[in-house]
Amino acid sequence: MKVEQKRRAPRVLKNSLATWRTSASIIVLGLALGASGGVYAQSVAVNIPAQSLEKALIDLGNQTGLQILYGPDLVTGKKAPAVVGTMEPQQALEQLLRNAGLRYRIEDNTVLLTNEAASNSALELDTTTIQGQGMGQMTENTGSYTPSLTSVGSKTPTSLRQTPQSVSVITHQVIQDKGMVDLTDAMKIAPGITVQNSTDRLSTYFSRGFAIENIQIDGAAPMALGTTAGSFYSNKNYNLVEFDHVEVLRGASGLFGGTGDPGGIINLVRKRPLDTYQLKVEASAGSWDNYRTQLDVTGPMAFDGKLRGRLVTAYTDRQYFLDERSTELPTIYGVLEADVLPGTRLTVGGRYERIHENGSGTGLPRFSTGGDLGLPRHTNLSQSWAYQDGRSQELFAKIDHELSDRWKVNLSYTQTQDVGMKKGSFSVGALNPVTGLGPMWLGSNSRYRSDQQLWDVNVAGKFDLLGREHEFLMGADHQRITSRWQGTPQLAGAFGAIDVYDPKSTPWIEPPIRKDWVSDYDPNSQVQYGLYSTLRMHVADPLHLIVGARVQRYKFDQVYREFDGSTGAWSVASDVSVREPTKVVPYGGVVYDLNEEWSAYASYSEIFKPQQSNLQGPLPGSPVEAMTGETYETGIKGELFGGALNTSIALYYTKRENQAVEDPAYPLTSVLFGGNCCYLTQGKVVSKGIDLEVSGEVLPDWSVIAGYTYNNNRNRNNGDVFSGVTPKHLFKLWSTYRLPGDFNDLKIGGGVNLQSANYVNGSASVLDPATGAVVGNERYEYRQAGYAVWNAMAEYRLDDHWSVLYNLNNAFDKKYYSTVGSSALGNWYGDPRNHMLTLRGTFW
């Protein structure tokens, strides 16, 4: 027989005026317990949206039977996150108060709330929660567009206001509202980030004119992003089915990122098991036969909830607005979490993904001078028989252990593997405006493999010195990447001319697969490891000083071999071995709290980037010195309405030196993705500008994420723009609003990506149509005017479990190039107007 708890509505208990004067900051929540005290521990269904703390407490009382007495000053202006699920009332209370600056204690089944500074005897929230370094804070079910804590710039959960660098977070709610499926979707809305296609399925992300080349998962050792051709051939596009949210740091990130450009670093925070049952199902259908399904189940499994699990599966079957282009992508992600000992948590999991792509191309060409061909947006200079088959898998394990109430240690290991085979068909060559010739078919068979092994161990904690509490972190990480790429000669029928205005009139009949490999990059490996440490000193009540450093080692090995069909022998065309000496990468920052909501900050950060593909003369050459980058940044950050809204204003200045430039004293040699000679390290680049950002809840039920970036980047050697694909002005806005009253089941939203002009110029090779050999070069330049792309959404809550979401992208059907490349290839149209309808179900 099922026994239900009888709930009664909360009532406001009236005290005398004298009582209010002496305890105006106290909230007393008396539980409607009945005769026995055991009801307090019973789980109940809770469904509270993100709203003001006062209204959230009233809703909590209505749903759990709590009696409420509160002083108005304690809750005025404070916000509470969404709390959804089946849980004990105490758990729901803790989640509501997470950012409220309040503490509570329980006396005789009565909950007493006080300000954090009001009583030393108050019980600190979440003291039993094991928070692993770098794991960040889950944003699922919060309904918020901003997190209370982030870890991308600190390895330990830290508020955005106390992080002295520009950080943006794409929370789970933003991902849900926008219907995002992969990392590229998230980066398109991330403030200050420019997204460019690097291949038919992968993208490169630019920040302040520089490519972002490092990525972390749960704040662990840096991984190679692998989205550019020749970057360890991973062909990995991170599927958001695995992740709760995305964190992006802009600026030099050498302290935790190792090597790379000073563009920044991305941290992906995985979904973790919940301690209450939850099932989510999702089915989507959209333009161009775009279909997707997802199932996500989590909850306690055994041992009184000490073992928890989560399983997520997704399947994508879609076509595109491009001709001859389709994708099938089944994915499964699973994770187990166990409290193996008091204060010790073990997490193990993995992901497996199959990849099947058809119609892979290299973008559109232009006139040889750079002019636009004006081709229809659906034009795809590839063939339906071109394909890629591959698999991507990941295994990971983590141990989080509390050494004491103030010290924790974290050990993590991640192993990824990406393997596959491609049969290519694509266009290369600019169109001669006089002859109408130039573009030709090229394509070969290739196979790739990339393995990454990543270790990270760190210890973090707090200590007292000179009457104040300070924070310390020390750790070590290790990255090992091994990869291989092999290619065949051109397929039969290659070098055929293409009529770009009518590609079907110049078809390429499917040739047989070739496996006579003539190109082989093996080994192609990178190893980097380092020791890192940070110290956060609370010098005075408002002043925080952060200092840190990384000691880094790096090595890279690559041998490129070519097969000579006439002799039947392999020969070494390029042999590169780079050993960077031990480098110390410093970091420093200062945060000054102007008041309880606003802070001013300044920071200095560095990074370095080996240039293994550029050799200094004389032939055969030796590796040039690594580039170095440094970022100076200062600004003001605000944490308003109890943490519900975050704002920031930043001024930045980035300098990169020692870029390789051609050495006129020696002839230039070229080996694709191999060692090229001869160069000098004389290049200097400067990028400076301003970042503005706001994210979170502006008013109850009104959420926004927006950013404006001004960037001026220059090559100091010649005064030219260094990164023309980075617009000087970039504005991004996305906002949603849940209607009040009788229309509360409806949420509407919209936004815009607005940017100024971008520009490319350079020199493209002219190929011999008979052999494909380079017979010359021709200069080109192209400028695309600024443009705006508008998007919208609407979501309707059908009942307590089901909702339907409609997304409209490029609402005004703007025709533009999302990526501008050379005259020969690499120009990609942005998606035309498209729609997506999603049905979601959530069960607790």
Instruction: State the pairing for strand pair 407-423/426-428.
Output: unpaired
10, 58 Cβ separation under 8 angstroms: yes
| Contact assessment for residue 754 and residue 709, using Cβ atoms and an 8 Å cutoff | no
Chain position carrying tokens 């047989």: 512
Tell me the torsion sign for CA atoms 129, 412, 202, 294: negative
- Would you put residue 813 in left (φ > 0), alpha (ψ -120 to 50) or beta? left
Per-residue pLDDT tens digits for 119-130: 433 333 333 333
In b/e form, how buried is each residue of 65-103, taking b as 16+ CB within 10 angstroms?
A: bbbbbbbeebbeebbbbbbbbbbbbebbbbbbbbbbebb
C-alpha distances in Å from residue 98, one per residue of 154, 646, 647? 20, 16, 19
Sign of CA dihedral 83, 85, 90, 95: negative
pLDDT at 74: 66
* pLDDT tens digit sequence for 769-799: 766 677 778 899 999 999 999 999 999 999 9
SS3 55: helix
Per-residue burial over 201-236, b if 16 or more Cβ lie within 10 Å, else e, is bbbbbbbbbbbbbbbbbbbbbbbbbbbbeebbbbbb
List of residues 6+ apart from 667 with CB closer than 8 A:
678
pLDDT of residue 102: 73
Using the CB atoms, write b or e for 307-337: b if 16+ within 10 Å.
Answer: bbbbebebebebbbbbbbbbbebebbbbbbb
Q: What is the pLDDT of residue 133?
A: 45
| pLDDT score for 66 | 65
Instruction: Name the nearest CA neighbour of 519 among 558, 468, 475.
Output: 558
Residue 41 has what DSSP assignment?
G
Name the stretches of the chain with pLDDT < 70.
1-42, 62, 65-77, 85, 99, 103-136, 226-232, 770-772
Query: What is the model's pLDDT at position 241?
Result: 96
For the whole model, what pTM was predicted? 0.86
